[in-house]
Chain A
């Protein structure tokens, strides 16, 4: 099976702009989670989508939003970018959560966002 893919891999934006990142999960996985990773804060949970619905949300401001499509692909959007949004944004997919062997998360390569 193909792994989790994320596009773009690298992005440079200026303050005040907005950005949309895309994630395609492993085929058959319906849960997609987004994380922000920075040297100072480590991996921080942004939100999780399952069957086109946001099930869980971390402690990030409303500038961070996302959605999931019927094919389980997900996008996250950050509006009014700030310098502190510079980070590696990771997407992870999981198989059907009702299975006893699930919640293994498989990460994509990430999108490196730099805000100048």
Chain B
């Protein structure tokens, strides 16, 4: 069965800090890995990663995938209070056609 493990489960930092969130996975027939941000509503899409070693960036957020070691990281630099959210990692299995989600990392950014 496909499995996604995120760490840490929760993290408290101060504004301006840089954080790294981890996602490791076990999946047969890997298709893609996705990162989402969830505040008090539905998850919003951040990144989709399909190839190893290619960093994706969006403002202060960036992510990279290592398909050999089966993990991904999400970096957030110069954190702001608005970055406080649950960050979800999901992997997509081509055969099953579904996404398996991790439990998420709850990030709290204090002023």
Contact B42 A107, beta carbon cutoff 8 Å: yes
List 11 interface pairs A-B (beta carbons < 8 Å), by A numbering: A42-B101, A43-B88, A44-B101, A45-B98, A48-B97, A103-B32, A103-B34, A105-B34, A106-B45, A107-B42, A107-B44
Expressed in whole angstroms, the Cα–Cα distance for A25 and B12 within the complex equals 35
Interface of A is mostly: strand
Contact A56 B96, beta carbon cutoff 8 Å: yes
Contact B42 A90, beta carbon cutoff 8 Å: yes
Binary contact readout A58-87 vs B (1 if CB under 8 angstroms, 0 otherwise):
100000000000000000000000000000
Contact A33 B92, beta carbon cutoff 8 Å: no
Neighbour of B42 across the interface among A42, A58, A104, A110, CB < 8 A: A110
- Asked if B43 is at the interface (CB within 8 A of a chain A CB), the reply is yes
**Residues of the B chain whose Cβ atoms lie less than 8 Å from the Cβ of A105:** 34, 45, 99
Chain B's interface size range is: 20 to 34
**Residues of the B chain whose Cβ atoms lie less than 8 Å from the Cβ of A109:** 41-42
**Residues of the A chain whose Cβ atoms lie less than 8 Å from the Cβ of B100:** 45
Expressed in whole angstroms, the Cα–Cα distance for A109 and B45 within the complex equals 13
| 11 more A-B residue pairs beyond the given contacts A33-B99, A56-B97, A103-B99, with a C-beta to C-beta distance below 8 A | A33-B98, A35-B101, A45-B99, A48-B97, A48-B98, A58-B98, A103-B34, A103-B92, A104-B34, A107-B42, A107-B45
Of the listed residues B31, B43, B44, the one surrounded by the most CB atoms of chain A closer than 10 A to its CB is B43
**Residues of the B chain whose Cβ atoms lie less than 8 Å from the Cβ of A97:** 97
Of the listed residues A104, A108, A109, the one surrounded by the most CB atoms of chain B closer than 10 A to its CB is A104
Q: Which residues of B contact A (CB under 8 A)?
A: 31-32, 34, 36, 41-45, 48, 50, 88, 90, 92, 96-104
Q: Nearest chain-A residue to B43 (Cβ)?
A: A107
Interface of B is mostly: strand
**Residues of the B chain whose Cβ atoms lie less than 8 Å from the Cβ of A35:** 101
**Residues of the B chain whose Cβ atoms lie less than 8 Å from the Cβ of A110:** 41-42
Q: Known contacts being A103-B48, A107-B42, A109-B42, is A42 close to B34, with CB within 8 Å?
A: no
Task: Return B50 CB to nearest CB of chain A, in Å.
Answer: 8
Task: Return B85 CB to nearest CB of chain A, in Å.
Answer: 14
The 7 A-B pairs with the shortest beta carbon distances in the complex, nearest first, are A107-B42, A43-B101, A56-B97, A45-B98, A42-B103, A56-B98, A103-B92
